[in-house]
Structure formats: C-alpha cells, structure tokens
C-alpha cells in the first residue's frame, strides 16, 4: 500500500474525476490479438501500473492489483476503478485504426504514462509488421526499473531552497466571457499541423513549440476580445522532474508557468515576443523557484493529511470542483519518440472532459504537431480564429469538425467516503 500524495488534488472531487485519454491514430487497421499480446508484454515492464485505489478513513492508497489490465475492442470509454476494467486505473481499448490508453491522474501524469505507451506501441509494431525494430529509448520487458521511476516527488520532506529571488509573475488573467455560461457539454477540435513547417517557423522565430502556440492563441483571443481589461495569460503546464532531480518518476510532477500577453508584448515582432516568453519561462524554471512550487504542493498535502474525515478533506478541496484557469491553459506532452516504428503512426491526441475553460493540448507524433482544442463552451469562434492565425503564417494543417465528447468519471465517489471500498476492496493493514 502506497499513500497517495502527488495525486491528491485529483481526488475528493464531486462525482469523482474523469479519465484522461491518449488516442493514437495508426496508419493501418489494428490487429486486436496482437495488441493484446503487446499489452501483456509491455505490462511486465511497468508493474506499478497494475494498481487499484483503496480508501481508509478518508485517505487514499495505491495498492497492487493482481487482475490483468483491462482490454477491449470498443470506442466507448469505461469507468476507471470499476469492475468493468478489473478495478484498474489504466484501460487500453481499440477500434479500427485507433488505440486509446485511458489513465487516472491519481496514479500518474501524462509524461509518466508516456514510456508505457511507447513500449506498448513498439511491441505492437514488431508483431504487426513481423520485424524487430531498433529499441533505442524504449523500455523493454525484463529490464529493471530506473532508480527514480517510482519515487514520490511530493513526499513528507520539503526541498531545500537557496536565496534565488522569486520572479514577478502575472497570474491574474482576462476571463473569457464564454466561461460565465453554465457548462452543459464539452467540445474538442483535432488540429494536425505539418511538423516540418511548424518547427522551421518556430526555429526561425526563436520559439519553442509551446511558445509558438501560446502566442498564436493569445493573438486569437485578442482579435476576438479587443477590449480586454486584463492581460491574456497562458497558464503553461511545466514538468518539474529535472529541477527536482527525479527525471524518471511516473507520478504527477507538474506545476504551471504564466505567460502574459499585454499591449507591450502585442507591439513586438514575433521573434521578440518569443524571446520575451523564453526569458519569462527561464525565470520561472529556476531550480529554487520550481522547488518552492513543489513545497507548496507538499504543504497542501500536509494540511490535507491533518484532517481526519473524508468530508473534511473533500470540503478543503471543494474549490477545484468549479475551478477555471484564466485565460487559457497549454500542455505540451512532448514527442512520441518511437524511432523506426513512428512511421506507422498517423497522429496522436490527448484529451479529457470535465474541466471548465479553454485548454490546448499539444503532441508531436508521426508527421504532425497536434493541437487539441478543448473547451467547455459551444462557440466556434476561437477555433476558427486560431486556425486563421495558422494560415496567416503559412502553416499547413487539417482539422476535424467540432467534436462533442466526454470521458468517463471514475468510480471513486459513486457512493462516497468509506463506501469506495465497494469498488476497490477493503483496506487490509
């Protein structure tokens, strides 16, 4: 039994939390029998992913799960932690050319599940195309775990901090008027951008992939709302692993960087805008600054642990239920890095419903940089303006229509509190 610390913020929500999904579009139709064999082989390398949630006196623990990871041919999402998925916190499904890996944020984050996805796809491609591909960078069955692979980044002890001064950070961003509406559905757009042209433009303008998309999104919002009364702020998900000395942990290890788009920024050239954003990111990625952010998360967990009842913990974290980050969020999950096997991948997408506001999830896979626009409002104006901004700088792309979608709530809070053991089994000391 391992008490959850780094994933606590994703627990104690009203109705639970929805699964997060990596969707991989392959170029050829999926062979289900081979994918099942690849899954069985891949899981031998990641024993910590065969887990279930156990609740005791309002606290949650990750426990080993002897049942196999769930697998099915379906385009429906299934409730993580339910009997339908063997109480597992990871679910692998497929249909036609798509493979979906759904995971629970109490177990890991998007960067933490990615090595498993690489291993799964590697073994599948080897079986599907009857060839042993080079496995550089792929973790294989039979190999030992890396030294820090299961380490807890937000444990009981806070990180030592030096004298680095805190940079001035603008967090108070313009609130999109669309967010004032009651949420009745969730929508997404899949935008696939030619990677070579995207990266060439980014390099020419001193922009990282995430900075380029942040600037285009900010410009699009300013076009739609020219009379903003506050800076347009991009809250960018930032991996803390390097600064905390835990490069390989699979556990949640993310904070936020804040990039304001002001009138001063707007007047600069694109290259100057990107250079300014790089400077702001560098300031916020200083080791001491990142460790302060980690200590804040440790402090939140410490306060939560002091509370003795499920109800008290749920009340303390109730602000997350309708939380909306202004102005928008960007999360760049990085490159698939599948080596020789990547030629069989068309594109890759990352999404989850249940979060209010505007989120842009980015990935690099196959021939594309993919931007998934996720929003809790019906208006198509932002998506249209964002795609227009791509055209203005000459980037080739293709886009889906607006997709109404939902990912599935877990089973943690169907009956609440101690009754969670109905789904996860009784805690045994």
CATH assignment at residue 255: 3.30.559.30
Q: Is the pLDDT of residue 422 over 50?
A: no
Q: Could you give the residue ranges of the DSSP H alpha helices within 225-269?
A: 241-244, 263-266
Q: Does any domain span residue 185?
A: yes
**Arithmetic mean of pLDDT, 194-202:** 98
Task: Extract the tokens encoding 358.
Answer: 């505007």
Contacts of residue 371, Cβ cutoff 8 Å, sequence gap at least 6: 191, 193, 213, 360, 361, 362, 386
pLDDT-derived band at 375 (thresholds 50, 70, 90) equals very high
The pLDDT of residue 423 is: 36
- Residue 297 and residue 183 share a domain: yes
368 forms bridges with which residues in the sheet? 194, 365
- Residue 255 and residue 300 share a domain: yes
pLDDT-derived band at 56 (thresholds 50, 70, 90) equals confident
The pLDDT of residue 280 is: 98
The pLDDT of residue 421 is: 40
The pLDDT of residue 427 is: 34
- Residue 199 and residue 139 share a domain: no
Q: Is the pLDDT of residue 124 over 50?
A: yes
**262 to each of 22, 231, 234, 267, 404, how far by Cα in Å?**
34, 5, 11, 9, 33
Distance of alpha carbon 71 from alpha carbon 90, whole angstroms? 10
How many CA atoms lie less than 13 Å away from 285 in the CB half-sphere?
Answer: 15
Q: Does any domain span residue 124?
A: yes
| Chain centroid offset of residue 253 CA | 11
Q: Does any domain span residue 391?
A: yes
Contacts of residue 39, Cβ cutoff 8 Å, sequence gap at least 6: 69, 71, 92, 120
- Indicate the pairing of strand 70-73 with strand 90-95: parallel
Task: Extract the tokens encoding 350.
Answer: 């990352």
Domain count, the chain: 2
Contacts of residue 232, Cβ cutoff 8 Å, sequence gap at least 6: 173, 174, 218, 221, 222, 260, 261, 327, 328
First to last CA, the chain: 9
**Arithmetic mean of pLDDT, 302-316:** 92
| HEC per residue, 63-89 | EECCCCCEEEECCCCCCCCCHHHCCCC
pLDDT-derived band at 9 (thresholds 50, 70, 90) equals confident
Contact by Cβ (8 Å): 142, 44:
yes
- Residue 382 and residue 397 share a domain: yes
Q: Does any domain span residue 246?
A: yes
pLDDT-derived band at 426 (thresholds 50, 70, 90) equals very low
- Residue 244 and residue 218 share a domain: yes
Task: Extract the tokens encoding 282.
Answer: 């560098």
- Residue 244 and residue 203 share a domain: yes
**pLDDT tens digits, one per residue of 240-268:** 999 999 999 999 999 999 999 999 999 99
Q: Does any domain span residue 161?
A: no
- Residue 188 and residue 111 share a domain: no
- Residue 351 and residue 419 share a domain: no
Distance of alpha carbon 136 from alpha carbon 133, whole angstroms? 9
- Residue 300 and residue 246 share a domain: yes
Q: 76 versus 417: which is more confidently predicted?
A: 76
Cβ neighbour number for residue 357 with a 10 Å cutoff: 21
pLDDT-derived band at 412 (thresholds 50, 70, 90) equals low
Q: Does any domain span residue 157?
A: no
**363 to each of 13, 40, 192, 350, how far by Cα in Å?**
28, 26, 10, 8
Q: Does any domain span residue 159?
A: no
Question: Across all residues in the chain, what is the average pLDDT?
Answer: 94
Distance of alpha carbon 248 from alpha carbon 246, whole angstroms? 6
Contact by Cβ (8 Å): 214, 236:
yes
- Residue 23 and residue 134 share a domain: yes
Q: Does any domain span residue 336?
A: yes
- Residue identified by tokens 């009842």 is 309
DSSP state of 353: S
- What is the CATH classification number for the domain harbouring 95? 3.30.559.10
Task: Extract the tokens encoding 219.
Answer: 């410009």
Contact by Cβ (8 Å): 41, 132:
no
- Residue 83 and residue 61 share a domain: yes
- Indicate the pairing of strand 186-194 with strand 397-399: antiparallel
- Show the domain range for 41: 2-149+410-424
Task: Extract the tokens encoding 180.
Answer: 């004032």
Contacts of residue 298, Cβ cutoff 8 Å, sequence gap at least 6: 5, 154, 155, 156, 157, 158
- Residue identified by tokens 């929805």 is 18
- Residue 249 and residue 357 share a domain: yes
What share of residues in the chain are helix, strand, coil (percent, to 5)?
Answer: 35, 25, 40
Give the lowest-confidence range in 12-21, 229-238, 344-353, 355-364. Answer: 12-21
């Amino acid at each position: 039994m391992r008490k959850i610390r780094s994933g606590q913020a994703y627990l104690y929500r009203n109705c639970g939390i929805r699964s997060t999904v990596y969707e991989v579009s392959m170029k050829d139709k999926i062979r289900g029998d081979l994918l099942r064999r690849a899954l069985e082989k891949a899981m031998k390398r990641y024993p910590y992913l065969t887990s279930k949630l156990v609740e005791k006196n309002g606290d949650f623990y990750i426990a080993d799960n002897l049942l196999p990871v769930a697998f099915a041919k379906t385009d429906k999402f299934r409730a993580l932690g339910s009997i339908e998925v063997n109480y597992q916190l990871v679910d692998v499904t497929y249909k036609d050319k798509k493979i979906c890996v759904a995971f629970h944020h109490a177990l890991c984050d998007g960067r933490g599940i990615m090595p498993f996805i690489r291993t799964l796809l590697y073994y599948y491609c080897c079986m599907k195309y009857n060839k042993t591909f080079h496995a550089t960078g792929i973790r294989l069955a039979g190999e030992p775990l890396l030294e820090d692979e299961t380490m807890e980044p937000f444990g009981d002890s806070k990180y030592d901090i030096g004298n680095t001064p805190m940079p001035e950070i603008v967090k108070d961003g313009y609130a999109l008027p669309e967010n004032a509406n009651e949420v009745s559905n969730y929508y997404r757009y899949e935008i696939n951008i030619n990677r070579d042209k995207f990266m060439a433009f980014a390099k020419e303008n001193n922009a990282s992939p995430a900075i380029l998309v942040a600037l285009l999104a900010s410009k699009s919002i300013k076009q739609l709302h020219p009379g903003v009364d506050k800076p347009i702020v991009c809250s960018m998900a930032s991996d803390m692993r390097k600064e905390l000395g835990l490069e390989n942990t699979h556990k949640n290890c993310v904070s936020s960087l804040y990039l304001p788009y002001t009138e001063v920024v707007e007047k600069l050239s694109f290259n100057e805008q990107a250079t300014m954003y790089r400077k702001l990111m560098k300031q916020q990625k200083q080791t001491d600054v990142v460790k302060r952010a980690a200590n804040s998360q440790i402090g939140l967990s410490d306060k939560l642990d002091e509370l003795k009842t499920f109800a008290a913990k749920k009340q303390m974290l109730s602000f997350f239920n309708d939380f909306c980050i202004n102005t928008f969020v960007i999360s760049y999950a990085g490159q698939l890095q599948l080596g020789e096997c990547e030629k069989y991948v068309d594109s890759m997408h990352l999404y989850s419903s249940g979060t209010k506001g505007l989120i842009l999830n980015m990935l690099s896979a196959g021939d594309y940089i993919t931007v998934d626009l996720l929003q809790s409002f019906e208006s198509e104006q932002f998506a249209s303006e964002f795609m227009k901004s791509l055209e203005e700088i000459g980037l080739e792309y293709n886009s889906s229509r607006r997709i109404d979608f939902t990912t599935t709530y877990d089973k943690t809070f169907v009956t609440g509190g101690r009754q969670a053991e109905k789904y996860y089994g009784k805690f045994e000391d």
